[in-house]
Amino acid sequence: MMKDITFYGRFEADILAGRKTITLREASDADFVAGDRVRVSRYEDNVFFCNIEIIDVTPVQFDELNNAHAVQENMTLPELKQVISEIYPGLKSLFMIAFRLV
Ligand SMILES: CC(=O)Nc1ccn([C@@H]2O[C@H](CO)[C@@H](O)[C@H]2O)c(=O)n1
């Protein structure tokens, strides 16, 4: 059975252009392993927009986030920390899911 993931619609263009190649998620949203093919839909309206292949799933602490993470999100580090703080207020333990378009 194919797995699914949702992204906020505002990230769709960056994902489709290959500008966003990681996502940082809480544990309950990181149940993927390298090689998984995953159907990607928009969170707001559930519209499918691409398939991705999972490259890697790695634990990362909020306080360890650095510019390399931000670049892979097509953001600055302050922007990335702000976005994550809004989605997951107070959460320190995240998982970095690296992916590529298929
Ligand atoms: C829709 C949903 O259920 N959850 C999430 C959770 C996270 N993200 C994005 O991943 C990166 C790091 O958190 C940032 O770019 C976030 O905006 C997302 O698009 N959708």
ipTM (interface predicted TM): 0.90
| Residue 1, pLDDT score | 76
Dist. CA 1 → ligand 1 center (Å): 23
Tokens of 27: 């544990």
CA–CA gap between residue 15 and residue 100 (Å, rounded): 9
| Residue 59, pLDDT score | 98
CA–CA gap between residue 66 and residue 64 (Å, rounded): 6
Residues marked as catalytic: 20, 23, 73
Q: Who lines ligand 1 at CB under 6 A?
A: 6-8, 11, 23-25, 43, 73, 83-84, 87
Tokens of 58: 């790695």
Rounded to two decimals, the pTM is: 0.96
* Residue bearing the CA closest to ligand 1, atom 9: 23
Cα 21 to Cα 1, 17, 71, 90: the distances in Å are 23, 10, 9, 24
Fold of 3-101: 2.30.130
Average pLDDT per consecutive 10 residues, the chain (102 residues; last block may be shorter): 94 98 98 98 98 98 98 98 98 98 96
* Residue bearing the CA closest to ligand 1, atom 8: 7
